Amino acid sequence: MIKKQVTPFHATSVYDIDVNKLVELDVKYAFVDLDNTSAQFDLITPEKRTYELVKEFKDKGIEIIVLSNNTEKRVAPFVSKLGTSFLFSVRKPFKRKLKKYLINNCITLEESILIGDQLLTDVLLAKNIKMKVCLTEPISKKDQFTTKFNRLIDRPLRKRYRKNNLLGISLDK
């Protein structure tokens, strides 16, 4: 299981990703985790930088689709302000809901990347479905109650990966 979570790409945060590097990877769709990847889990409206991120990706021909294990009640109001598509209650790392979305929207794995802050949910989902993945650092030290357990496993793994240069190619600017 540990080897399965080694990532091909990493970035300090989704806001530090060089979008041109994604273009070079032929990415057309970026599935971006919501809580602690693109926004703090307790933020109810997007920050200015989130709007700028969506515009930057869109200007380069990449559509952002927000992806979350959280409920529609949490995800829909936040994402509706951004004007992007979204998936809620994904149940990462299970692939069923994401796979169905890809098929229904004629999106291929080759033109997609998943960007997230957790090894046990985001990275494992991408590996399970064989999608490119970029691991980011959490943007906040605050986590939802349910995420705190994953962090107990995530932190030491990240430390080991960093030490052994296993986090992959940096997509930072």
Is the CB of residue 62 less than 8 Å from the CB of residue 29?
yes
Global pTM value: 0.90
Six token digits for residue 109? 């794995």
Cβ neighbors of 103 (< 8 A, separation 6 or more) are: none
Counting residues of the chain whose pLDDT is more than 70, the rounded percentage is 92
pLDDT for the residue 77? 92
What letter does residue 27 receive in the DSSP assignment? -
Nearest to 172 by CA among 49, 20, 27: 20
pLDDT for the residue 145? 65
Which residues in the chain land under pLDDT 70?
A: 1-5, 143-145, 147-148
pLDDT for the residue 147? 67
Task: Read off the pLDDT of residues 9-55 as tens digits, 9 standing for 90 and up.
Answer: 999 999 999 999 999 999 999 999 998 898 887 888 899 999 999 99
